[in-house]
Amino acid sequence: MKVAVVAFGGNALMDFSGKSSYTDQLMKAEKMCGEISSLFDMDYHVAITHGNGPQVGNLLMQQESLADTIPPMPLDVCDAMTQGQIGYMLEQTLRNMFTKNGIKKPVVSLVTQVVVSENDPAFKNPTKFVGPFFKKDEIEELHRERGWEIREDSGRGWRRVVPSPKPVDIVEKEEIGEMIRKNFVVISCGGGGIPVLRDKKGRLKGVAAVIDKDFAAERLASLIGAEVLLLITSVNQVSIFYGTPKQKNLNKMTLDEAKRYWDEGHFPPGSMGPKIKAAIKFLESGGKKTIITSLEWIDAAIKGEGGTAITL
C-alpha cells in the first residue's frame, strides 16, 4: 500500500490580506484538489492536511470584536472551528471531483487533536503568524487594547503571533490509519491540529496555540507509515543562496545534503526552514521521499518532472 500525505498552506486558500471570501476560497480549493489527481491515478492512498493561519486569525478578530456581548471562544476552539471549515470545503470539493470523474472513493474530514508538551519553549516565545497584515502605526493600539503580540513578517508588514509548539503525538492516529487502509481520502490535522496537553492519567485539555502544519504533516506521515510527504508552498523549488546572485534552485537533495544546507543557514525559520526540518525528520523516521513545490507544479513534481525531491 502506497501512502502519501499532502500538506496545503492556509495561504493557498486565502491571500495574505485575509479578505478572501468563502467563494474565493472554494475556487482555490477546487484548484488545489485538482492538482493532486495524479496521486490517485498512481494508486496512492492519500491523507490531506492544511494550514489555517489566515483563517484562524480572522476568526479570532471576529470573536474578539463582539467580546462585550458574546463570550469569545479560546484559541484552541477557533483552531477546531477553522479545521472544520476548511475540511468541509476540501471534502466537498473532492467528492464533487470524484463524482464528475466516476471515481468511487470515500472521503472524510476528521477533527483532529495533536498532543504538545506543556514545557515547549514556544509558549514563552510566540512565533506563529496568524491573521491579516497591519501597518506599523496600528500595532501599538492592538497590543494595548487586545494584548496581542505582533511582529514583522518577512518585511511584508506586521501580523499577530501566537505560540507554535512542536507536535508530539496525534490522538486519532489509529483511526486515521485504519481509514487510510480502507482507501478513504482522509483530511485531518488541519491547521496543524487542535493543540492539546495530555496529563499523567491520559486526560486531554486544549491549549492556546497554533501548530505549524508542516511539522504536523510530518508527524501524521510518520505515524501512519507514509512513504511520500508532499509540502505545498509559494515557490516552485527549494533554493540555496536565495535572493542573491548565487541563488541556485534544487531539483533534488539527499538527506545529508539537506542537513548540510540547513547547518549552513540556507533555510530561515520564517520561510523554508520548517519544511526542511519536517522533511529531515520524516526521512529519519522511515519515510522515503519529501517533495516541496508550489501548487502549480504539483502534478509535475509528483511525476518527478519538477519541484524539489528530498530522499535518503
What is the predicted pLDDT for the residue at 105?
94
d(CA 119, CA 3) in angstroms, rounded, equals 33
- Taking residues 63-85, report their average pLDDT: 92
State yes or no: pLDDT of 217 exceeds 90. yes
Catalytic residue among 28, 173, 275, 289: 275
Region of 293 (left: φ > 0; alpha: ψ -120 to 50; beta: rest) is beta
288 is catalytic: no
- Taking residues 63-86, report their average pLDDT: 92
State yes or no: pLDDT of 117 exceeds 90. yes
- Taking residues 113-125, report their average pLDDT: 96
State yes or no: pLDDT of 252 exceeds 90. yes
- Taking residues 256-260, report their average pLDDT: 97
State yes or no: pLDDT of 277 exceeds 90. yes
Catalytic residue among 9, 10, 18, 53: 10
C-alpha cell at 189: 490535522
DSSP assignment string, 13-79: TS-TTS---HHHHHHHHHHHHHHTHHHHHTT-EEEEEE--HHHHHHHHHHHHHTTTTSPPPPHHHHH
10 is catalytic: yes
What is the predicted pLDDT for the residue at 16?
59
How does DSSP classify residue 128?
Answer: E
Q: CA 124 from chain center: how many Å?
A: 22
Region of 237 (left: φ > 0; alpha: ψ -120 to 50; beta: rest) is beta
What is the predicted pLDDT for the residue at 86?
94
Domain locations along the chain? 3-116+171-194+211-226
Identify the architecture of domain 3-116+171-194+211-226 in CATH: 3-Layer(aba) Sandwich (3.40)
Each residue's pLDDT tens digit, 139-148: 888 888 878 8
* Structural element, H or E, at residue 309: strand 308-311
Catalytic residue among 11, 52, 58, 236: 11
275 is catalytic: yes
State yes or no: pLDDT of 56 exceeds 70. yes
What is the predicted pLDDT for the residue at 156?
78
How does DSSP classify residue 152?
Answer: E
289 is catalytic: no
C-alpha cell at 238: 527549494
Higher pLDDT, 110 or 138: 110
d(CA 9, CA 250) in angstroms, rounded, equals 21
Cβ atoms of 276 and 229 within 8 Å: the answer is no
* CA proximity to 33, closest of 102, 84, 83, 107: 107
What is the predicted pLDDT for the residue at 153?
84
Each residue's pLDDT tens digit, 149-167: 899 887 778 988 989 999 9
Look over the chain and give the mean of its residue pLDDT values, rounded to a whole number: 92
Catalytic residue among 28, 166, 173, 213: 213
Catalytic residue among 28, 51, 57, 128: 128
- Return the sign of the alpha-carbon dihedral for residues 228, 287, 49, 184: positive
**What is the value of pTM for the model shown?**
0.91
Q: Which of the residue ranges 59-68, 107-116, 119-128, 214-223 would you say has the lowest mean pLDDT?
A: 59-68
* Structural element, H or E, at residue 258: helix 255-263
